[in-house]
Structure 1
Amino acid sequence: MTPDVTSQRADNTVPRGAFGGSQRIQQLFARYKILALLIAVAVIWIFFSALTHGAFVTPRNLSNLLRQMSITGMLACGMVFVIIAGEIDLSVGSLLGLLGGVAAILDVNRHWPIGVTVPAVMLLGVAVGLFNGWWSTYRRVPSFIVGLGGMLAYRGILLGVTGGSTIAPVSDSFVFVGQGYLPRFAGDTLAVVLFVLLAFLTIRQRANRQRYQLRVVPIWQDVAKVVGAGAILAGFVATLDRYGGIPVPVLLLLALLGIFTWIATQTVFGRRIYAVGSNLEATRLSGVNTNRVKLAIFALMGLMCAFAGIVNTARLAAGSPSAGSMGELDAIAACFIGGTSMRGGSGTVYGALIGALVMASLDNGMSMLDVDAYWQMIVKGGILVLAVWIDVMSGSNRR
């Protein structure tokens, strides 16, 4: 018995020594994932700034970059909930194009006021999202197939309703949604309000953890977090103020970031989304109506497609039959790059938006360098595979 016990102990000892380093690296990556993403964004910006002789980081280009990123970010806000719940939606790019085309038709051909057009398109987006969710949850059709069918069907409907031609020009009030700027004074006031709100929430969270005798990080970490966020916010607003101010689409995206983060972290519905993705059967047996949760998630995804479609049409000042092409892949890639697990049950909204910023930065930088389109697709595809590989390796280390 003794030799067997000794050899067993030796076998158990070797893996610990062999994989201890990789486990520590994995733990550091998991703990500081968002910081790693921000460093990656900084490296990308420095790289493209050097190659474009500083043109990449001019206020004008950064304003255009953030405006471009806002559309993918809106899709990512909804997609991150879908993936966390263990589902996928491949129809969002085509649905974005369809809803944007409908908005253009209502504005240009039907002459509906913007106060009626926008709510109508948003309701249509929710209805289509519910339709997708109904097929996936109550009819048991895999969401991948539902999304794939929607990707083809919605693109076909868009070509049909537009006749394959561009619908233009949309009204000035509609264009403001995609091309307008927030006045500088209002932007500066908003930045101050956001900083005060962040400080208040940090203090409140710390007090709550102390009240319930939970572990509290050293106070210098909270101070550093608030000061760092304030510095980034001040630099962000100051840069945009040098070129018109904060773009309206970016303002909308910031509002959606706050709303979706609140849903994910402060509501019962948000907790249920993570529970459904972590263990569907256990969540169902605990009394949660998992079908309703998934139905609501797809409805939110449809609403985000409506927001993105409206902003995209307003930004282009026209409804295009090709709008939203490959949009679903950018949104999914943004979520995976931002740390959302492909297995479900894990992910953050702000991580997905940083992922969207990575994708938009690559698009913008390679376009400025006049990189061939096929190389752009190769780079983005490679980054997507790399992000999923990191997620898979992290999961295998946890097991």
Structure 2
Amino acid sequence: MNQLTNYFKNNIRQNGMVLALVFIMVLFQILTGGILFRPMNVNNLVLQNAYVLILATGMLLAILTGNIDLSVGSVVAFVGAVSAVMMVNWGVPVWLTIISALIVGMAVGAFHGYFIAYMRIPAFIVTLAGMLIWRGLTMVILKGQTLSPFEKSFQAMSAGYLPGRDITIGGLNVISLLAGLVISLVFAAMVFKSRKNKAKYGFEVIPMWLELFKIAIVIIAINLLTFSLAAYNGIPIVLILLIGMIGIYTFITQRTIFGRHVYALGGNEKAAKLSGVKTKRVMFLVYTNMGLLSALAGLVVAGRLNAATPKAGTMFELDAIASCFIGGASASGGIGTVIGAIVGGLVMGVLNNGMSIMGVSVDWQQAIKGLVLLGAVFFDVVAKKKS
């Protein structure tokens, strides 16, 4: 028990929001009369919050540098408008539209990154200007009107499911169940490999029983998710996209030189520069990446709505920023993880979904989410002072 207590004390930033997420899920499961964890609603949670998790992943890198990006919601709308014009008006194939939209997003991010990194204009000002520029261009491209519909193949990326939905046992999709088992085995293997490497180089490792406890909790969560999806329509394609993205960006932030440079830049820019880190290039790439993920989120949103609208993406930047701070990222930069941002995004998603099921008005939903964000940052400040 002492070991367990010490572990949670030493990792309060990482574990606090996970416990909060579990508490919120259990609370809304009770308050909604069991609706929250119904298979159809679990499926809706995945589809509805995909864009938040994508944006939160990119926003985390910006926050690690000590900055934010206020333009992501407008970029989402702009990319959706560009892709709609290409497919609906010009008849461009879906695959070429997707590639072109991602390139447009990267160009937008590079535009922001150039002024932030090389012209030394504060990121707040540059991205605020970007928010106005791209929203205005969205209105110009769409002429204030909604443009639709899209091809089924384009919609499948954000609203489709993996093939094999008819392969079932007892009404449960076999592919979903197998996916849960495979992901569980891969996760366990990765944890044991990481533990072995730490022990090999003399780093401290937690007790084996605690490691097994953590693995068991995660595996249970994974299989509960895949079981719920198996009872509905199977695994959404966008979930595969999210898992791949989380894996890639977790690797980038924790296992690559670029990731270490991002943390160093956010921790102390002058010290990082004196240490040989090319801080301007790192900042430029961070915002280029933010443009890329904003474009990806724009494609997902447009595909789910089956339309491009001038008001798409409104307030998305606040959801992404809140997800990162709720997930343990520091407002001063240099602290935060991809997994933490994902947990923060899930907290926001469960709050939105649970309150909507209960019939809470949108006004109160905004107020409650604001209080949760303030509480998360307050918790972060208090934890810092204690440490």
Deviation, 1:193, is: 3.0
Partner of residue 120, structure 2? 140
Pick from 370, 373, 380: which aligns with 1:391? 380
Specify every segment of 5 or more residues in structure 1 that has no aligned partner in the other structure, as ranges: 1-24
Query: Is 2:175–2:234's contact at 8 Å kept on the other side of the alignment?
Result: no
CA distance in 2, matches of 1:307, 1:380: 25
Query: Is 1:26–1:397's contact at 8 Å kept on the other side of the alignment?
Result: no
Deviation, 1:360, is: 0.9
Query: Is 2:64–2:335's contact at 8 Å kept on the other side of the alignment?
Result: yes
Partner of residue 93, structure 1? 73
Deviation, 1:98, is: 0.8
| Residue 253 (structure 2) pairs with residue 273 (structure 1) | no
Partner of residue 166, structure 2? none
- Runs of 4+ with deviation above 6 angstroms: none
Partner of residue 104, structure 1? 84
Partner of residue 301, structure 1? 290
| SS at 2:36 equivalent | helix
Q: Specify the code of the residue in structure 1 equivalent to 2:25.
A: W
> Structure 1 residues 292, 185: closer, same or farther in 2, change over 3 A?
farther
Partner of residue 272, structure 2? 283
Which of 245-254 and 35-44 deviates more?
35-44
Deviation, 1:61, is: 0.9
Partner of residue 319, structure 2? 330
Partner of residue 140, structure 2? 160
Deviation, 1:196, is: 2.4
Partner of residue 162, structure 2? 182
Give the TM-score normalised by structure 2.
0.93
> Structure 1 residues 26, 340: closer, same or farther in 2, change over 3 A?
farther
> Structure 1 residues 278, 140: closer, same or farther in 2, change over 3 A?
same
Deviation, 1:194, is: 2.2
Give the TM-score normalised by structure 1.
0.90
| SS at 1:213 equivalent | coil
| SS at 2:313 equivalent | coil
Rg larger in structure? 1
Residues paired across the two proteins, number: 374
Specify every segment of 5 or more residues in structure 2 that has no aligned partner in the other structure, as ranges: 164-172
CA distance in 1, matches of 2:197, 2:260: 18
Query: Is 1:166–1:321's contact at 8 Å kept on the other side of the alignment?
Result: yes
Deviation, 1:292, is: 0.5
Query: Is 2:13–2:380's contact at 8 Å kept on the other side of the alignment?
Result: no
CA distance in 2, matches of 1:26, 1:152: 48
| Residue 30 (structure 2) pairs with residue 72 (structure 1) | no
Query: Is 2:13–2:328's contact at 8 Å kept on the other side of the alignment?
Result: yes
Pick from 359, 363, 367: which aligns with 2:356? 367
Q: Deviations over 1:317-373 (max 9, x none)?
A: 111111110000000000000000111000000110110011111111111222121
Deviation, 1:26, is: 11
Which of 197-206 and 94-103 deviates more?
197-206
CA distance in 1, matches of 2:269, 2:152: 47
| Residue 138 (structure 2) pairs with residue 151 (structure 1) | no
> Structure 1 residues 40, 95: closer, same or farther in 2, change over 3 A?
same
Pick from 15, 21, 35: which aligns with 1:41? 21
Deviation, 1:42, is: 2.5
Partner of residue 206, structure 2? 217
> Structure 1 residues 188, 111: closer, same or farther in 2, change over 3 A?
farther
Query: Is 1:26–1:394's contact at 8 Å kept on the other side of the alignment?
Result: no
Deviation, 1:393, is: 2.2
Q: CA RMSD in A?
A: 1.7
Q: Specify the code of the residue in structure 2 equivalent to 1:325.
A: T
